[in-house]
Structure 1
Amino acid sequence: MKIQDSEKVQEIRWQVYYFLFSWLFYSVSAQLHYSIPEEMRKGSVIANIAKDIGLDIKELSLRKFQIVSYVSDKYFSVNTENGNLYVKDRIDRETLCARAASCLLKFDAVVENPLNVFAVTIEIQDINDNSPIFFHKTVDLEVIEFTLPGTHFILQKAEDPDIGINSVQTYKLSDNQHFTLSEKTSTDGSKSPELVLEKPLDREIQNMYELILTAFDGGNPIKSGTAVVKIIITDGNDNFPIFSQEIYKVSVRENTPINTTILIVSATDQDEGSNAQITYSFMKTSENLFSSGVFSINSTSGEIKTNQKLDFEVVQNYEMSVQAKDGGGLVAHSKVLIEVIDENDNPPEISITSLTSPIPEDSARGTLIALINVRDQDSGENGEVDSLITEKLPFQLILSSNKYYKIVTTTVMDREKAAYYNITIKVTDRGSPPLSTTQTIRLDISDVNDNAPTFSKRTYTAYVPENNLPGASIYTIQASDLDIGENAKITYSIFSTNTEGVPVSSYLSINIETGVLYSQRSFDYEQHKDFQIQVIAKDNGSPTLSSNTTLIIHIMDQNDNIPRILYPAPEVSDSASFEMVPFSAEEGSLITKVVAVDADSGHNAWLSYHFIQVSEPSYLSISQHTGEIRTSSGFQQKDVLKYKAVILVKDNGVPSMSATVTLSFIVADNFQQVVPKITNHLSSEDSPPNLQMHLVIALVLISFLFIISVMMVIISKFKQSKSTTAMGSFNTNLYSPVDPRILSQFNNGTLSLPYSYNVCVALDSSESEFSFLKTNENVPIDNLIDAVDSGTGNGNLSATLAPNILQKGRYSVGR
């Protein structure tokens, strides 16, 4: 019960001790120091580290508050919600630091935005949680019977992993008549029990003694351990081996080869014979168990060699107990201290503490990319490092503390030039020879909508045939965008304008995703020869960027219009119409000309003229290109004096389109010969009942005009007594003029202006003639003649239609 009460008092004392030391910290150059006892319960609060650093608890998560360590993060954790530092796992000071005077665990408290690093040191205080123990529970000791009183026998030391007052303080020997206990303090402060012979021994009376050796520590409550000392009384050997040194010290480099001799221990014995033969060995202690596999000792020579490769980063110091035992069983002990010297055998280590990837391409200069931790397990200059970025990149490595570096941008990023960067960091230590480590960080650049869609051309040209199918695709126009994702998703639209009062949208539409242009209706070249529209490409970024281009759509002509005959006018040709041919006309004389136009253009408007029905025999020929009708031979008295011909006018399109007109020709030398021929002609056809009346009216008008002409000639003779000229002439338009708006729309070989005929009538009816006298005085003759005989016009009126070329005219009698 007393022991349990004592343990409760000790636990309460440590809780008070922890409470006092958990608040005793200091901060120098962003450093914190805490002291805590070992074996604290998991989840125990050490301190509010956020408050001690001066951080706002609400910002801990936002600033990524964390602890960074290669060892300490196993034992400690921090809560970002309240800022408390907790014990994460069992802390055993003896496991961490063995018997070192000071046991420290270190880590870094790191926060970002802005970056701060605080060095935190936690000192682990020893508590009396271990009892003294003897490695051997039974110690066999041989004592010669004639050993003199006052002789000291070295006993096994008790071991206590605790330090200071909690370690072994005193020893106690069970009561007996021959032996007492004394303590020997070595130069390092440790105490060793010694057995002191108080009374002479007599093997014949008692040859063995069993005593209880108890070791006590100085903790509260006091803990103890026991061992049985078995003393065997023997004869003989009365001198102990003696080592040349009480403590052997040696320094060894960690790259020392295996099986290298590092030390030779030596002991002497004043006895002779077998009692002076010394055997060396490592004592079996907890410390020797740790190092026994690393070193070996020659039992005869005392030569100590390396048995394994040494590693300074694992163990810096070895402590071993060496025993020298003579042939009589007497032993002596010595301590061997081996110091391992560091070599530059560890390359630097790089770890990424924080990485921000991707970053927007419009990130400002100085943006923090990553926080890296650099560490070298070597010491001294071997552990000092230099860091750099191996390639020339828009980043800079900035030393934040002795172990941390920041990587920041030095320029504004451009994803279109580089979508990502491989940042290679090289860390080199200052050892000889130097060792280095490289690590590559991939940094992705996220896209920002900083590029507008672009067209490859400022102006596009498309050709579409007329009479196309509504709804068919006619052209594809596309833009490109250097951005990606939604920022590069392009939609197309047409900037609508009106074409002769009709919006473009009624003619064209565009697929907003593909840029394919569709016709909304069938095009007509004769109405619209081209369209000019603005196509707008707009991306889906925020804010939206756009660009535009011009698309010119040319409508290509198709042969969809039949030729239109202007002369003779169709309405006139349907009535009784005649062309009067002089009987005396020579071969090749121009009789008349068929004039036609085509609303199409190009090859589709090239017209040709042909007889498809003509009276036999035929004395007439027609020019295929000009439509001029000429005599092919002279007339004879026996020849038929009345002819009828059907003229075909066709274009050059595929398929070809055509129109026809019918002409009648009367061969006569004077007007009086025309009347019976006309009468015969009319009577030979199925004329309407009023055709004779029309004929009579026509004859009366012609006679009236002839009388007026004679009277005007007589009057002019009275005024000019010596005038021998003809009686005069008069003009009349036999045909109504053609609307110039109709002709002006044709630009390839068509008549450009109306035309007229002048009629000249002589006193002698046999000399009456019908001729082209002149065109409109305000219109140049060139406008009437276009591409003569070239085959590229629509029934061209050639320059041969100058005055007096047509010898005989044409009379027509309407129905």
Structure 2
Amino acid sequence: MAERKIQQTETSKGFRGQVMILFLFFCLCHSGFAQVHYSLYEEMAKGSSIGNLANDLGLNVKEILHRKLRIVSRVSEKYFSINSLNGNLNVADRIDRETLCGAAEECFLTFDAVIENPLNIYHVRVDIKDINDNPPRFVQDTIVLEISEHTLPGVRFALQRAEDLDTGVNSLKNYKLSTNGYFVLGMKTSTITIPELVLEKPLDREAQNIHEIVLTAFDGGNPVLTGTTLIKITVTDFNDNFPIFSQEIYKVSLSESIPLNSTVISVSANDEDEGVNSQITYSFSATSKQAIQAFIINPRSGEIKTKEHLDFEKVKNYEISVQAKDDGGLVTHTQLLIQILDENDNAPEISVTSITTPVSEDSAPGTLVALIEVDDLDSGVNGEVDCQIVGVMPFKLMPSTGNFYKIVTTSILDREKTSYYNITIQAIDKGSPTLSYRKTIRLDISDINDNPPVFEKSIYIAYVPENNHPGASIYSIQAIDKDSEENSKLVYSIIDSSPKETPSTSYVSINPVSGIIYAQKSFDYEQDREFQIHILAKDSGSPSLNSTAVMRICIIDQNDNSPIILYPSIDTGDSTVFEIVPFSSEQGSLVTKVVAVDADSGHNAWLSYHFLQESETPHFIINQYTGEIRISRIFHERDVLRHRIVVMVKDNGIPSLSSTVTLTLIVTDNFQHALPEIHEQSRKSESQSNMQFYLVIAIALISFFFLLTVISAIISKYRASKSLTTFGSMGTYPPVDPRFIPTFNNGTLPFPYSYDVCVTLDQSEKDFACPKTHQNVPVESLIDADDSGNGDEIVKEIIPSVGIVMIKRQFTIFWYEVFSADN
């Protein structure tokens, strides 16, 4: 055995050293499909060159990498590789012909050589030639025979047949027996050659009951390889009949889907002997390992069953040698040929050979995006496959050479609608029942800058309270760009619609990345109630795209302005407004009206009028909406005739702001009785210049004469009618010159008590004594001053000027009418 292994090794090395590469066939078909044939001996060393595939395909060395020359095969790519530098087709792994093809006469491997730019496919076939690398082998190392001593010379005993996995001249050729004195070697040839042991002379059990002979099998290789088995012969008693099979060759066809442990066939042999010599034992002999693994035989009944699941794609035929041996040691053989029938048990397979991802969204229709291969291991109709794309997609399958399909676009792609596609390809074979397979390929779509930024609105409106802090954010604006990555990165800026106007950037600024708008200054509602800016959004694509939006910024009014009292008019001097109220005034009569305005707007400018520190029995009421002061009840002799009223004008803001004015109301029917009060208040004022002093004296003289005229007219009028509707009791008043009576006394307040005035009694004064307003004074902090005084003091100085009184009346009527119209 050791010599045989050494001889086998030397033989293999001898053939591996002789690398013979034969270029058999190279043909280019009109359809664009090409086929190349090579042949090589098995067991060639890794890296051995088979041929220059690039040259045979008409490629130069520079085109190998550029056109991506490669092997596409699930089987052959294990055994072959292409040198990308020179285009040689090399051996990549050990190639054992017997493992690939068994005892078949032809053995070859095929693969497809694929090149791109343009795409082409070449079918390559490599024939595998046999070398003498397998010695003959006996299944059993020892053959045990029992031969009766009464066996006549010339009797033949069939021996175990050796197997040689090599083919052709390297296959099994001859047998040889070792030297012995009783037996010679014979051959029985039918469909196969079986060695036979021929008895040359009678046996003598008493002389020698055991014979050991070595049977050697030789193949036809160079050097010759051999295999041996030991024939151990036991001489027994007489047994002169051999088992005989009912058939010399058994044939059966099995479906590959046959269940496990199913009966294949039952072989039977007959032995005409009796007793123990007629009992037959069945077994496999000279059978391949694949057959022994797939089938099992019952040694008594001869029933053969499946031992494992059969697979047509692995083994299509089994050749089994079955022997029948009786208990006397006689053996006979028969052949069992099993053919496996294909079933549609293999679904199609889809493999992606080449794919281009991502694909630009502006790719033209017909652009090749992928190359796939569809294969089915079944044969015949079961191996025929139809392929299609599932669903409605902008792609289609185009058949290419062999089992290859191209996936090409059918329309323009739009990444903004679909950023990627899951292309599902379904392959269905034509077997019964049909089998199918689905494979999904993800194809990403790359973006181009074909979408400008889009604002959600064309006009935005932001409301900002006035007196805001400079630098504070007031709004956030966003635009959307349907593109991706750099094409969707936006930069915001403010553009001026007119270069002549104040730059928009002096009002606001914008963060170019986030779109947040900031105030550049503190806004004043009374100055700028609203302004407009234009915002530009520009993407980062090439070329860049942009869009604009308009933003209106409306300033919201805050309550930051106190009411301004227009009447009684505001004076910087510290004086009090005096109003004379006739003692006989009826309830509800109008005394005067406070007129005020507020620079704010809306609710902040809604004004209300209130008395501060009202008495328990107030003689006057004020309309909180119009500011009109009226008499709440008629006067009595015991009532206080001098009233100091503080009027607060309050707006409706939060917090509210207010202004105040102080009015001194003197109730009397005699104008002269009020003069001491007026004079006492006037003397508190600072003296004016000499020019003012003389002017006051002149005015006082004119007023004196005018007053006498008025009193005379009143007395005469009183005598004629005691019930004047407007003046009441005016007996104590001096006559009034009719020239000073206004012609318009049909207004809201009746003349002459519609508007009471106070005049300056000091000769140095030239102005009127007007009320002084106090702004921003909390209501609760206002305290009424002392209103005590005697209304019956004797007037010692007669200075009042009726002319001045009438001028003041005309002035107040003018302001009242103006603001009444505004409100």
Q: TM-score, normalised by structure 1?
A: 0.72
Provide Cα deviations, 1:235-273, integer angstroms capped at 9, x if missing partner.
64445444454333222222334454443445455x543
- Is 1:224 aligned to 2:226, yes or no? yes
Q: 1:124: Cα distance to partner?
A: 1.0
Aligned to 2:74: 70
**Of 118, 128, 134, the match for 1:130:** 134
Worse-superposed segment, 646-655 or 167-176: 646-655
- Is 1:31 aligned to 2:40, yes or no? no
Q: 1:587: Cα distance to partner?
A: 11
Provide Cα deviations, 1:515-565, integer angstroms capped at 9, x if missing partner.
332222111122211111122334445544433221111112334344556
SS at match of 1:438: strand
> How far apart, CA to CA, are the structure 2 residues paired with 1:460 and 1:769?
58
SS at match of 2:428: strand
Aligned to 2:554: 554
One-letter code aligned to 1:290: Q
SS at match of 1:469: coil
Gaps of 5+ in 2: 703-737, 741-765, 768-800
Q: Cα gap change, 1:681/1:268 in structure 2, threshold over 3 Å: closer, same or farther? A: closer
- Is 1:256 aligned to 2:258, yes or no? yes
SS at match of 1:159: coil
Aligned to 2:325: 325
Q: 1:162: Cα distance to partner?
A: 0.9
Provide Cα deviations, 1:753-789, integer angstroms capped at 9, x if missing partner.
xxxxxxxxxxxx99999579999xxxxx99985653x
Q: 1:205: Cα distance to partner?
A: 6.6
SS at match of 2:46: coil
Q: TM-score, normalised by structure 2?
A: 0.71
Worse-superposed segment, 138-147 or 501-510: 138-147
- Is 1:95 aligned to 2:99, yes or no? yes
Q: 1:500: Cα distance to partner?
A: 8.3
Q: Cα gap change, 1:516/1:275 in structure 2, threshold over 3 Å: closer, same or farther? A: closer
Which aligned pairs between 1:685-696 and structure 2 lie closer than 5 A? 685=683, 691-696=689-694
> How far apart, CA to CA, are the structure 2 residues paired with 1:299 and 1:612?
131
Aligned to 1:493: 493
> How far apart, CA to CA, are the structure 1 residues paired with 2:595 and 2:499?
34
> How far apart, CA to CA, are the structure 2 residues paired with 1:463 and 1:268?
114
Q: Cα gap change, 1:11/1:198 in structure 2, threshold over 3 Å: closer, same or farther? A: same
Aligned to 1:468: 468
> How far apart, CA to CA, are the structure 2 residues paired with 1:496 and 1:349?
65
Q: Are the counterparts in 2 of residues 562 and 659 from structure 1 also a CA contact under 8 Å?
A: no
Q: 1:126: Cα distance to partner?
A: 0.2
Provide Cα deviations, 1:262-316, integer angstroms capped at 9, x if missing partner.
43445455x543597262523433x254323433445455443434433222221
Aligned to 1:457: 457
Aligned to 1:658: 659
One-letter code aligned to 2:133: D
> How far apart, CA to CA, are the structure 1 residues paired with 2:179 and 2:659?
150
> How far apart, CA to CA, are the structure 1 residues paired with 2:802 and 2:150?
193
Q: Are the counterparts in 2 of residues 498 and 504 from structure 1 also a CA contact under 8 Å?
A: no
Q: 1:431: Cα distance to partner?
A: 1.5
Q: Are the counterparts in 1 of residues 366 and 408 from structure 2 also a CA contact under 8 Å?
A: yes
> How far apart, CA to CA, are the structure 1 residues paired with 2:341 and 2:447?
54
SS at match of 1:393: coil
> How far apart, CA to CA, are the structure 2 residues paired with 1:324 and 1:604?
122
Q: 1:168: Cα distance to partner?
A: 1.9
Q: Cα gap change, 1:592/1:211 in structure 2, threshold over 3 Å: closer, same or farther? A: closer
Q: 1:56: Cα distance to partner?
A: 5.3
Provide Cα deviations, 1:58-88, integer angstroms capped at 9, x if missing partner.
4555655433333223322334344333222
Provide Cα deviations, 1:13-65, integer angstroms capped at 9, x if missing partner.
7655523x157655553222221111111122222333333445545556554
Aligned to 1:281: 282
Q: Are the counterparts in 2 of residues 282 and 288 from structure 1 also a CA contact under 8 Å?
A: no
> How far apart, CA to CA, are the structure 1 residues paired with 2:137 and 2:453?
84
Q: Cα gap change, 1:695/1:64 in structure 2, threshold over 3 Å: closer, same or farther? A: same
- Is 1:437 aligned to 2:437, yes or no? yes
Q: 1:489: Cα distance to partner?
A: 4.3
One-letter code aligned to 2:225: K
Q: 1:609: Cα distance to partner?
A: 7.3
- Is 1:520 aligned to 2:520, yes or no? yes
Aligned to 1:171: 175
Aligned to 2:304: 304
Which aligned pairs between 1:181-220 and structure 2 lie closer than 5 A? 181-187=185-191, 190-196=192-198, 210-220=212-222
Q: 1:596: Cα distance to partner?
A: 5.9
Worse-superposed segment, 73-82 or 460-469: 73-82
Aligned to 2:90: 86
Q: Are the counterparts in 2 of residues 267 and 278 from structure 1 also a CA contact under 8 Å?
A: no
One-letter code aligned to 1:656: L
> How far apart, CA to CA, are the structure 2 residues paired with 1:277 and 1:85?
62
SS at match of 1:39: coil
> How far apart, CA to CA, are the structure 1 residues paired with 2:226 and 2:86?
43
SS at match of 1:310: coil
- Is 1:348 aligned to 2:332, yes or no? no
SS at match of 2:432: coil
> How far apart, CA to CA, are the structure 1 residues paired with 2:693 and 2:576?
10
Q: 1:456: Cα distance to partner?
A: 2.5
Q: Cα gap change, 1:284/1:686 in structure 2, threshold over 3 Å: closer, same or farther? A: same
Aligned to 1:480: 480
Q: Cα gap change, 1:621/1:202 in structure 2, threshold over 3 Å: closer, same or farther? A: closer
Provide Cα deviations, 1:144-180, integer angstroms capped at 9, x if missing partner.
5665655544333332221100112233445566654
> How far apart, CA to CA, are the structure 1 residues paired with 2:260 and 2:178?
47
Provide Cα deviations, 1:716-760, integer angstroms capped at 9, x if missing partner.
xxxxxxxxxx999xxxxxx99xxxxxxxxxxxxxxxxxxxxxxxx
> How far apart, CA to CA, are the structure 2 residues paired with 1:256 and 1:92?
30
Number of residues of Structure 1 aligned to a counterpart in Structure 2: 726
Which aligned pairs between 1:363-382 and structure 2 lie closer than 5 A? 363-382=363-382
SS at match of 1:133: coil
One-letter code aligned to 2:428: T
Q: Are the counterparts in 1 of residues 26 and 34 from structure 2 also a CA contact under 8 Å?
A: no
Q: Are the counterparts in 1 of residues 16 and 43 from structure 2 also a CA contact under 8 Å?
A: no
Aligned to 1:747: none
One-letter code aligned to 2:282: S
One-letter code aligned to 2:429: D
Q: 1:595: Cα distance to partner?
A: 6.8
Q: 1:319: Cα distance to partner?
A: 0.8
Q: 1:128: Cα distance to partner?
A: 1.2
Q: Cα gap change, 1:210/1:533 in structure 2, threshold over 3 Å: closer, same or farther? A: same
> How far apart, CA to CA, are the structure 2 residues paired with 1:131 and 1:668?
157
SS at match of 1:428: strand
SS at match of 1:94: helix
One-letter code aligned to 1:120: V
Q: Are the counterparts in 1 of residues 593 and 629 from structure 2 also a CA contact under 8 Å?
A: yes
> How far apart, CA to CA, are the structure 2 residues paired with 1:684 and 1:74?
124
> How far apart, CA to CA, are the structure 1 residues paired with 2:681 and 2:334?
164
> How far apart, CA to CA, are the structure 1 residues paired with 2:222 and 2:457?
94
Q: 1:644: Cα distance to partner?
A: 11
One-letter code aligned to 1:523: F
Q: Cα gap change, 1:518/1:244 in structure 2, threshold over 3 Å: closer, same or farther? A: same
Q: Are the counterparts in 2 of residues 282 and 292 from structure 1 also a CA contact under 8 Å?
A: no
Provide Cα deviations, 1:310-367, integer angstroms capped at 9, x if missing partner.
3222221111112233454332222211111112223323334444555444444344
Aligned to 1:721: none
Cα RMSD after superposing both structures: 5.4
SS at match of 1:119: strand
> How far apart, CA to CA, are the structure 1 residues paired with 2:475 and 2:513?
14
- Is 1:120 aligned to 2:118, yes or no? no
Percent of residue pairs bearing the same amino acid type: 53
Q: Are the counterparts in 1 of residues 606 and 652 from structure 2 also a CA contact under 8 Å?
A: yes
